[in-house]
Amino acid sequence: MSKKQIYIGLSILLVIFFISPVLVDAQCAMCNATASTSTEGNKESALALNSGILFLMSIPYVLLTGIVIIWLRFRKQKKAEQAS
């Protein structure tokens, strides 16, 4: 496999990864029960809590992706320097 094919495959996986969380409930059983009983029929608060959980969950993934991209670029530069 060429590097271009690998990058295309990873890009497709990232797009699928970022599209799919829209369909997922991020609340654990405890958070869901607490939000349901505290709102008593008002689903807006439960949806806001769920969105907040998804937002907080995405930050580590974005940071890790950035670190991996930077690491790959430095590795590529070192290989190019060693080859020349």
Where exactly are the structural domains of the chain?
Answer: 25-83
Given this model, what pLDDT does residue 40 score? 65
User: Could you report the average pLDDT of every consecutive run of 10 residues in the chain (84 residues)?
Assistant: 82 81 62 67 73 83 92 90 84
Cβ atoms of 36 and 46 closer than 8 Å:
yes
- The pLDDT score that the predictor gives to residue 70 is 93
**What pLDDT shows up at residue 73?**
92
pTM given for the model: 0.48
Q: At what angle do helices 43-83 and 29-39 cross, to 10 degrees?
A: 150
